[in-house]
């Protein structure tokens, strides 16, 4: 991360990715609160981004600061999911449960990477897990889905009564590496993409989104940013025409 900060100018085309990673770094490694992250993001943009206008960026900066804690800071190149692990998830009949199992697997393996003594435990709130799994459902249904994974032996709960502690029982690092996961924002979609559904990675921020048209390049947020940019360019064109 410190390497990124050494660069004099931020690569403008990747600003969203940069803000997202830097916000996560400030949250996870520096322990900053949302308001402090906003302040720091504005500060760094001011230093390195040419023609930085805080008004144009306030929505994005607010968003990345707000989501900083949601996603793990992945310093590794990615997490390998193995053939046997994928096979186990393929055998889950219910598609939504499969996505949930895949998400828990990725999170457990990520935590194993960060802490070799982790032993396949996952410790995130139900809300965070379902967000990453891209599953929209009620709290009641979340419990039911966890229970179904429990019944099928794919997960276990901690002995202490604590809903936050789930152990994934089908991690198999001895099997052949097959799928590399490098982005933890939309794990549910990563699974759908693996299963052949139509998703694209946004050219701006790299997030996975469902493909709606053939030439789609951006997610909703980046498309909006692009539109603002075009409008600004258009306005400055008009201004120049007015002057001359
Ligand atoms: Zn995007």
Compute the distance between CA of residue 225 and CA of residue 23 in angstroms, rounded to an integer.
Answer: 19
- Distance from the alpha carbon of residue 166 to the mean position of ligand 1, in angstroms: 31
- Please check the confidence at residue 237 and state whether its pLDDT lies above 80: no
Compute the distance between CA of residue 57 and CA of residue 68 in angstroms, rounded to an integer.
Answer: 16
- Distance from the alpha carbon of residue 21 to the mean position of ligand 1, in angstroms: 13
- Distance from the alpha carbon of residue 138 to the mean position of ligand 1, in angstroms: 27
The pLDDT tens digits for 138-189 are: 999 999 999 999 999 999 998 765 445 899 999 999 999 999 998 888 999 9
Tell me which of 60-74, 79-93, 119-133, 192-206 is least confident: 60-74
Model pTM above 0.75: no
Predicted local confidence at residue 95, as pLDDT: 95
Percent of the chain with pLDDT over 90: 50
The pLDDT tens digits for 104-129 are: 999 999 889 878 889 999 988 888 89
Q: Which of the pair, 18 or 188, is modelled with greater confidence?
A: 188
- Please check the confidence at residue 7 and state whether its pLDDT lies above 60: no
User: Average pLDDT in the 21-46 region?
Assistant: 89
- Please check the confidence at residue 74 and state whether its pLDDT lies above 70: no
- Distance from the alpha carbon of residue 16 to the mean position of ligand 1, in angstroms: 7
Compute the distance between CA of residue 53 and CA of residue 55 in angstroms, rounded to an integer.
Answer: 5
How far is it between the farthest Cα atoms of the chain?
Answer: 76
Q: Which of the pair, 242 or 199, is modelled with greater confidence?
A: 199
User: Average pLDDT in the 185-205 region?
Assistant: 94
Compute the distance between CA of residue 96 and CA of residue 61 in angstroms, rounded to an integer.
Answer: 32
Predicted local confidence at residue 8, as pLDDT: 45
- Distance from the alpha carbon of residue 76 to the mean position of ligand 1, in angstroms: 22
- Please check the confidence at residue 20 and state whether its pLDDT lies above 60: yes
Q: Are 201 and 208 in contact (CB under 8 A)?
A: yes
- Please check the confidence at residue 206 and state whether its pLDDT lies above 90: no
- Distance from the alpha carbon of residue 225 to the mean position of ligand 1, in angstroms: 9
The residues with which 210 forms a beta bridge, in sequence order, are 199
The dihedrals phi and psi of 166, each to the nearest 5 degrees, come to -125, 135
- Distance from the alpha carbon of residue 62 to the mean position of ligand 1, in angstroms: 15
Predicted local confidence at residue 165, as pLDDT: 85
Tell me which of 45-49, 141-145, 211-215 is least confident: 45-49
Q: Which residue has the tokens 């600003």?
A: 15
Q: Which of the pair, 19 or 210, is modelled with greater confidence?
A: 210
Predicted local confidence at residue 102, as pLDDT: 98
- Distance from the alpha carbon of residue 147 to the mean position of ligand 1, in angstroms: 34
Share the mean pLDDT of the chain: 86
Q: Are 45 and 5 in contact (CB under 8 A)?
A: no
- Distance from the alpha carbon of residue 35 to the mean position of ligand 1, in angstroms: 23
Buried b (16+ CB within 10 A) or exposed e, 93-124: eeebbbbbbbbbbbbbbbbbbeeeebebbbeb
- Please check the confidence at residue 67 and state whether its pLDDT lies above 90: no
- Distance from the alpha carbon of residue 71 to the mean position of ligand 1, in angstroms: 16
User: Average pLDDT in the 51-61 region?
Assistant: 86
């Amino acid at each position: 991360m410190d390497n990124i900060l050494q660069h004099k100018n931020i690569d403008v085309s990747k600003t969203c990715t940069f803000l997202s990673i830097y916000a996560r770094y400030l949250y996870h490694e520096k322990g900053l609160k949302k308001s402090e992250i906003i302040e720091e993001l504005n500060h760094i943009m001011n230093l390195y981004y040419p023609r930085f206008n805080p008004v144009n960026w306030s929505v994005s900066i607010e968003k990345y600061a707000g989501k900083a804690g949601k996603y793990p800071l992945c310093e590794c190149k990615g997490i390998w999911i193995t053939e046997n692990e994928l096979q186990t998830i393929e055998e889950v009949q219910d598609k939504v449960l499969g996505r949930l199992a895949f998400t828990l697997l990725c999170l457990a393996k990520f935590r194993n990477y960060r802490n070799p003594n982790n032993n396949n435990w996952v410790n995130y709130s139900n809300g965070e897990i379902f967000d990453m799994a891209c599953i929209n459902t009620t709290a009641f249904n979340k419990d039911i889905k966890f229970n179904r994974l429990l019944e099928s032996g794919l997960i276990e709960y901690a002995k202490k009564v604590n809903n936050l502690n789930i152990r994934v029982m089908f991690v198999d690092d001895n099997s052949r590496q097959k799928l590399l996961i490098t982005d933890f924002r939309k794990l549910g979609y990563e699974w759908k993409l693996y299963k052949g559904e139509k998703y694209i990675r946004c050219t701006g921020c790299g997030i996975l989104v469902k493909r709606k048209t053939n030439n789609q390049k951006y997610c909703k947020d980046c498309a909006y940013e692009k539109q603002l940019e075009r409008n600004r360019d258009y306005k400055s064109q008009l201004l120049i025409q007015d002057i001359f």
